[in-house]
Amino acid sequence: MKFRDGVRRVLGCEKRGQQEIVGFVLIVVLVVIGLMVFLIISVRDSGEEVGGVRVSNMVDVLMRTTTDCAIVSEPYFEDFEDLFKSCREGDSCANLGVSACDYLNESLRNVVSSMVMSDASVDGWEVEFSVREGEGILRWSDGECAGGVSGAQRTIVSGGTSLIVRMRVC
């Protein structure tokens, strides 16, 4: 009888001990989940804003730049924003005798490369020109993207269609 009581008491203690361990493990799991959430939020916030502002400024400056392509006649030279529209509409540069898309394809790479060349912090870049529905028209890229990426995009409305120019810099 005494032996049975002893076994019961020991088993009861073990049960309580197991409950405490389960409780402790639960607390640890909760704290770990909290830490993970905290880490994810703090990693997400880092450095994107300023980088985004810089790339946004790059896109604005690029769009305003006057090209050597005149669709109608000289001196009505297109800026890059108009050139994107002319490329979509299938126009040609009257003064150069090439299509707007061919000129855009060639000149945009040179312009962005020279912009990036003056910035030692840039390892790689990518510019994509597409229609809102997801149809890609042109794409340029150079360099390797290993670190953080900053990006910006502009929407150009041309004849009821939204054209998207997206730039990513890393």
> Which of 93, 129, 132, 92 minimizes the C-alpha distance to 109?
129
Question: In the complex, what is the shortest distance from the CB of residue 47 to another protein, in angstroms, rounded to a whole number?
Answer: 6
To another protein, the closest distance from the beta carbon of 132 in angstroms equals 25
- Minimum distance of another protein from residue 135's CB (angstroms): 29
- Interface contacts to another protein, rule CB under 8 A: 20, 24, 27-28, 31, 35, 38-39, 42, 46-47, 49-50, 53-54, 57-58, 60-62, 64-66, 74-77, 79, 110-111, 114-115, 117-119
Cα–Cα distance, 163 to 68 (Å, whole number):
22
Nearer to another protein by C-beta: 75 or 97?
75
78/91 with CB nearer another protein: 78
